């Protein structure tokens, strides 16, 4: 299509040349026919050009779509430690800025490469037809393009990398300042921080100007190349006309061809910077694609969910993250169908321990067993399907409460129907792809209502405008910390799991509600294996077993009564909390 476009496009200077010849040769009556031919060529060019541009840009968008999809799927497979080491902002910047730049390279870049090549080939072929010698003369300046390309390519790459680096530095500074805003205000640091920011912003200005200078030279350099060619043709061709070697019309035709080369040549310069920037972005994306999750599926066969009993054994588990030892030889057994509580100070490794059981962090084989099977031999899907887990940070998606709970048993959508409809409304009739299944319509699944009931959400839901269809999040209802925790709790129990892990799931719930939920939880926990992390004695004293963690090691294990009698860490915790509760004081003040 592009070739056809350019071939047709060459017809235009040919007819122009013929017209000039006709005018000069005193045959003006031929002109209307030639002019009509030229218009026909123009129409043909327009049609093929529209088709080829639409095709290429759509292809680039389609490629961008695939790239985004692949990237997102890849990201979802990377493990938690990777995410803790890579700020979300950085990853987002890959998915937005870098993908855009690569797409620009594909769309506009490829279009121009093909256009330029075809334009050069066809135009030179036509020129040779008119006069080979003159063509040779006209092409004389063009080999310099290679030299210019090499010089400018490197400079564009280097200067634009410098701009990106400085932009990154500036962003970091802004982030540092904004997250420390209270300290800045209390210490009156506005002046120094502002000065620092000014210096960084000034540096960015300078880097940007360096890039501007390179780009500013690029355009004129390539334009001058085209002009040089025109001069040569005028000079050499002019003499040829005077000698009578070629007709004046041929010279005009020749100039016409050269004019066709001006834009492809200029585009070449522009493309150069586009391709260099695209290359840099593509390299960054490749680095990201090269990241491999450390936590991978085991190959020890399937886990039959119906046969699962939920017994857990932890054997000399050691976990180090970022060079720091978090768990240092933890061992304990949770018999199937019993509840084990894990207590310990902040930083003692409780959350890491349950993350290790779910294999959210990498663990060595032979350290954690589920029903006697090494969890590293299971597929991640089977393992996690067996577990209902309410993590400490009660992260909810900005969809309906029903959907959030339904995630627990693998249903639900993170795009609520209401938002999909709103998107369609805002964007007009152009949104055929946003027809999200209407999961949130009608009566919620009984699994959702049962889980919400058990998590003590029913009363809260009744007070909300759309009940189960209430959308959580910035533009929906802002739930309190306690409400969020209870939705996360409902999500964990919705799948009726054999093994339930609750990581400090009621810390933001007030004492009265906690009591009610704990009573209900007793029924939920009956017959299930459960691991409970809590700071509150009230929540753990009924457990069959209590494991006290201290600095990554098991300090003591036993029942509430046994540990009290032992008079160790747990006994101390119990006494201070009991008194603090009586006094209405925080546990922290007493510990």
**Contacts to another protein from residues 469-498, by CB under 8 A:** 472-475, 478-479, 481-482, 484-485, 491
CB nearer another protein, residue 194 or residue 316: 194
Angle at 572 between CA 569 and CA 577, to 5 degrees: 125
Exposure b/e, 36-74, CB count within 10 A at least 16 = b: ebbeebeebbeebbeebbeebbeebeeebeebeeebeeb
Of the candidate spans 125-133, 305-313, 417-425, 443-451, the one that interacts with another protein by CB under 8 A turns out to be: 417-425
Verify binding: residue 28, another protein, rule CB under 8 A: yes
Q: How far is the CB of 433 from another protein (least distance, A)?
A: 4
Verify binding: residue 516, another protein, rule CB under 8 A: no
CB nearer another protein, residue 335 or residue 473: 473
CB nearer another protein, residue 62 or residue 335: 62
Burial class of residue 550 in the structure, from the number of CB atoms within 10 Å of its CB (0-12 exposed, 13-18 middle, 19+ buried): middle
Q: Which of 129, 150, 154, 194 binds another protein (CB under 8 A)?
A: 194
How many residues in the shown chain lie near another protein by CB under 8 A?
178
Q: Which of 1, 3, 4, 64 binds another protein (CB under 8 A)?
A: 64
Whether the CB-CB separation of 316 and 101 falls below 8 Å is answered with no
Of the candidate spans 122-130, 362-370, 408-416, 515-523, the one that interacts with another protein by CB under 8 A turns out to be: 408-416
Of the candidate spans 116-124, 148-156, 432-440, 513-521, the one that interacts with another protein by CB under 8 A turns out to be: 432-440
Of the candidate spans 37-45, 121-129, 460-468, 516-524, the one that interacts with another protein by CB under 8 A turns out to be: 37-45
Residue 402 to residue 487: CA distance in whole angstroms: 9
Listed in sequence order, the residues at least 6 apart from 7 whose beta carbon sits closer than 8 Å to its beta carbon are 122
Verify binding: residue 175, another protein, rule CB under 8 A: yes
Q: Which of residues 87-106 bind another protein (CB under 8 A)?
A: 88-89, 91-92, 95-96
Verify binding: residue 504, another protein, rule CB under 8 A: yes
Verify binding: residue 576, another protein, rule CB under 8 A: yes
Neighbours of 194 (CB within 10 A): 12
Angle at 37 between CA 31 and CA 42, to 5 degrees: 125
Of the candidate spans 271-279, 307-315, 411-419, 459-467, the one that interacts with another protein by CB under 8 A turns out to be: 411-419
Q: Which of 2, 7, 38, 126 binds another protein (CB under 8 A)?
A: 38
Verify binding: residue 565, another protein, rule CB under 8 A: no
CB nearer another protein, residue 42 or residue 335: 42
Angstrom distances, CA of residue 520 to CA of 21, 226, 306, 525, 526? 98, 82, 25, 9, 10
Q: Which of 179, 283, 294, 562 binds another protein (CB under 8 A)?
A: 179
CB nearer another protein, residue 113 or residue 431: 431
Listed in sequence order, the residues at least 6 apart from 271 whose beta carbon sits closer than 8 Å to its beta carbon are 108, 109, 112, 113, 116
Verify binding: residue 507, another protein, rule CB under 8 A: yes
Q: Which of 224, 320, 450, 538 binds another protein (CB under 8 A)?
A: 224
Angstrom distances, CA of residue 334 to CA of 240, 314, 379, 532? 99, 8, 22, 12
C-alpha closest to that of 487 among 517, 452, 530: 452
Verify binding: residue 428, another protein, rule CB under 8 A: yes
Angle at which helix 190-232 crosses helix 132-139, to 10 degrees, equals 160
Q: What stretch of H or E contains 97?
A: none
Verify binding: residue 302, another protein, rule CB under 8 A: no
Verify binding: residue 292, another protein, rule CB under 8 A: no
Q: What stretch of H or E contains 100?
A: helix 99-104
Burial class of residue 300 in the structure, from the number of CB atoms within 10 Å of its CB (0-12 exposed, 13-18 middle, 19+ buried): middle
Of the candidate spans 70-78, 116-124, 301-309, 328-336, the one that interacts with another protein by CB under 8 A turns out to be: 70-78
CB nearer another protein, residue 219 or residue 527: 219
Verify binding: residue 323, another protein, rule CB under 8 A: no
Residue 408 to residue 488: CA distance in whole angstroms: 9
C-alpha closest to that of 562 among 575, 577, 574, 546: 546
Q: Which of residues 330-359 bind another protein (CB under 8 A)?
A: 345-347, 358
Residue 434 to residue 563: CA distance in whole angstroms: 57
β-strand partners of 317 = 330
Verify binding: residue 305, another protein, rule CB under 8 A: no
């Amino acid at each position: 299509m592009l070739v056809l476009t350019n071939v047709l496009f060459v017809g235009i200077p040919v007819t122009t040349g013929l017209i000039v010849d006709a005018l000069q040769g005193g045959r003006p009556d031929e002109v209307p026919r030639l002019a009509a031919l030229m218009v026909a060529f123009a129409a043909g060019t327009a049609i093929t050009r529209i088709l080829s541009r639409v095709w290429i840009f759509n292809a680039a968008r389609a490629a961008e779509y695939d790239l985004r999809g692949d990237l997102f799927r890849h990201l979802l497979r990377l493990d938690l430690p990777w995410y803790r080491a890579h700020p979300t902002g950085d990853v987002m910047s890959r998915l937005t800025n870098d993908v855009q730049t690569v797409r620009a390279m594909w769309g506009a870049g490829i279009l121009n490469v093909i256009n330029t090549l075809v334009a050069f080939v066809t135009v030179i072929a036509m020129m040779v037809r008119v006069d080979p010698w003159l063509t040779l003369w006209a092409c004389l300046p063009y080999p310099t393009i290679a030299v210019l390309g090499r010089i400018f390519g490197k400079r564009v790459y280097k200067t634009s990398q410098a701009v990106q680096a400085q932009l990154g530095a500036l962003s970091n500074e802004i982030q540092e300042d904004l997250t420390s805003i209270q300290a800045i205000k209390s210490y009156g640091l506005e002046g120094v921080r502002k000065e620092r920011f000014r210096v960084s912003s000034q540096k960015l200005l300078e880097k940007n100007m360096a890039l501007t200078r390179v780009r500013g030279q690029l355009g004129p350099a390539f334009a001058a190349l085209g002009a040089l060619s025109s001069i040569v043709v005028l000079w050499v061709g002019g003499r040829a006309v005077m000698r009578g070697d070629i007709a004046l019309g041929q010279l005009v035709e020749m100039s016409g061809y050269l004019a066709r080369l001006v834009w492809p040549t200029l585009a070449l310069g522009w493309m150069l910077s586009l391709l260099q920037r695209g290359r840099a972005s593509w390299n960054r994306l490749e680095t990201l694609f090269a990241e491999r999750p450390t936590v991978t599926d085991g190959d020890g066969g399937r886990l039959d969910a119906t046969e699962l009993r939920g017994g857990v054994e932890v054997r000399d588990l050691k976990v180090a993250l970022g060079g720091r030892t978090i768990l240092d030889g933890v061992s304990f057994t949770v018999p199937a169908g019993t509840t084990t509580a894990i207590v310990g100070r902040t930083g003692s490794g409780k959350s890491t321990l349950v993350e290790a059981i779910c294999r959210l962090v990498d663990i060595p084989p032979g350290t954690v067993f589920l029903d006697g099977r090494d969890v590293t031999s299971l597929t991640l899907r089977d393992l996690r399907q067996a577990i209902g887990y309410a993590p400490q940070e009660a992260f909810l998606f900005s969809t309906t409460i029903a959907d959030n709970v339904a995630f627990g048993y693998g249903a639900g959508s993170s795009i609520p129907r209401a938002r999909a409809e709103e998107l369609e409304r805002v964007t007009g009739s152009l949104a055929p792809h946003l027809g999200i299944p209407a999961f949130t319509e009608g009566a919620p699944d009984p699994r959702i209502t049962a889980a919400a009931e058990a998590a003590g959400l029913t009363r809260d839901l009744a007070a909300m405008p759309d009940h189960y269809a209430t959308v959580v999040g910035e533009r929906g209802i802002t739930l309190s910390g306690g409400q969020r925790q209870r939705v996360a709790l409902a999500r964990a129990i919705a799948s009726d799991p054999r093994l339930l892990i609750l990581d400090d799931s009621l810390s933001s719930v007030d004492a009265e509600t906690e009591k009610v939920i704990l009573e209900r939880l007793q029924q939920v926990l009956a017959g299930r294996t459960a691991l409970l992390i809590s700071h509150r004695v009230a929540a753990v004293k009924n457990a069959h077993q209590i494991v006290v963690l201290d600095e990554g090691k098991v300090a003591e294990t036993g029942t509430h009564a046994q540990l009290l009698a032992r008079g160790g860490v747990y006994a101390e915790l119990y006494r201070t909390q009991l008194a603090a509760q009586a006094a209405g004081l925080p546990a922290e003040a007493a510990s």
